[in-house]
Amino acid sequence: MKHTPAMTFPVVFLTLIIKLPNLNFSILGLSIYEVLFVLLIPLLIDAPQIFLKGFILLCVKSTTIPNGHKKTQPLVSIIIPAHNEGDYIENTLESVLEDPYPNKEVIVVDDGSTDTTHVKAMMYADNLKVRVIRREKASGTKARAVNYGYVFTKGEIIIVIDGDTLIERGAVEKITELLCKHDDIIAVSGNVRVVNKVNLLTRLQAYEYLCSMELGRRWQSLFSGILVIPGAFGAFRKEVFESLGRMHPDTITEDFDLTVMLQKVKKRLVFAPEAVAWTHVPEDWRSWVRQRVRWAVGQIQVYRKHLNILFRRRYGLFGLFIVPNSIFMDVVALILRFTWGIYILASYTFGTLPKIALIIFAFYVFLEFFTIIMAAALTPRKEDVKYAILAPIMVIFYRPLYSVVRLWAYLNAILGRKARW
């Protein structure tokens, strides 16, 4: 029987297990049995996920949807919700207005900003394509800000762009063309990357956006299983958005919530890797922790709200595989890793633990480099590939810290504590 690339890892792993009695060598003084024991969780959970996704994506090489019948360029309504984005709103508007897509309108929603957002946005109000709307009192949620701007839209397609995000020239055409060519596609995710690479934290996030978010959306798009159309840059059909009751303010991750609601329509949601936007990410650790806590709390809120999608055949692979796998990897596997780590600490002597830590570290670095190779082969913008040098820091510091933050956030969600936009 000929093995496909997707079968390679489990076949090699099983072969290794079968031949274990004949393996007498050691690694750092630990037998092969002990090495496999301490690597049990990454071997059973992390490695199969990474290798399977990587090999399939390399075989497919593209998430491009086959060409359909292209319609004329419809009117596109671009909503830019902004709360205290005075430092960025001008550049955001410039990037949108410089985009060559001809048939567009821009609605800026100043959601109760206390800085210069309104003043700077009003500088563009003379442009016939721009309308600036101000709420004197902040709504407190991005969903309400988007919904407020939606009232003034006239386009067939709605695009939402964050007030601190820049889009590349041609990005509007690239994110809308699939909606124009295929009637069964109702929403498209843009490719969001990091623009403010000014320190170690922002460079680590640039690495993360390339390796985790872009690759993740490529994988999900193969099955029309996009999990999150990012609020920083996403497009969807106006009629479908309206039929869902617009954005719901009952979660703090409104983009995730809206995406799951769109998936329930049982049409296609896809990723447009060439539709690139560049967003600002937190530049200090306190802001980063606050953002990630908000994401994780919102994630739990959405899972609770949409439990009826789990393992339901009517929602296809999204309900049967994508969402359950996401919950398993984000929540269950996270708890398993911590539990296993505590068990390892309690099972070995103080002198042996550094060797175990080195083996685990080396294995995860190997997985990181495999991932960055996949990302480098597939991404349309390769400038962030250079941050592969940060892989050891990702393994030894960034990802463990993020795991702690997520556990803390999940606890907050269970206790009902709120996180704000």
Q: Domain tally for the chain?
A: 1
| pLDDT tens string 25-56 | 677 777 788 888 889 999 999 999 999 998 89
Distance CA 113, CA 102 (A): 30
Q: What value does the mean pLDDT of the chain take? A: 88
Asked, for residue 333, whether it belongs to a domain, the answer is: no
Share of the chain above pLDDT 90, in %: 72
Write b or e for each residue in 369-402: b if 16 or more Cβ atoms lie within 10 A of its Cβ, otherwise e: eebbebbeebbeeeebbebbebbebbbeebbeeb
Asked, for residue 28, whether it belongs to a domain, the answer is: yes
Asked, for residue 14, whether it belongs to a domain, the answer is: yes
- In DSSP notation, 50-84 reads HHHHHHHHHHH---PPPP--PPP---EEEEEEESS
Residue 173 has what pLDDT? 95
| pLDDT tens string 216-268 | 999 999 988 999 999 999 999 999 999 998 999 999 999 999 999 999 998 99
Asked, for residue 68, whether it belongs to a domain, the answer is: no
Residue 188 has what pLDDT? 96
201: Cβ contacts below 8 Å, ≥ 6 apart: 282, 283, 284, 285, 288
3-state secondary structure 246-311: CCCCCCCCHHHHHHHHHHCCCCEEEEEEEEEEEECCCCCHHHHHHHHHHHHHHHHHHHHHCHHHCC
| pLDDT tens string 284-294 | 999 999 999 99
Place of tokens 């809308």: 176
User: 32 lies in which domain range?
Assistant: 5-60
Distance CA 274, CA 294 (A): 28
| pLDDT tens string 290-322 | 999 999 999 999 999 999 999 988 888 899 999
pLDDT-based confidence at residue 65 (cuts at 50, 70, 90):
low
More confident residue, 38 or 76: 76
Strand, coil or helix: what is 121?
Answer: helix
Asked, for residue 39, whether it belongs to a domain, the answer is: yes
| pLDDT tens string 82-93 | 999 999 999 999
Distance CA 342, CA 339 (A): 5
Asked, for residue 94, whether it belongs to a domain, the answer is: no
Asked, for residue 223, whether it belongs to a domain, the answer is: no
Asked, for residue 25, whether it belongs to a domain, the answer is: yes
| pLDDT tens string 164-214 | 999 999 999 999 999 999 999 999 999 999 999 999 999 999 999 999 999
Share of the chain above pLDDT 70, in %: 90
Closest by CA to 390, choosing from 137, 203, 125, 242, is: 203
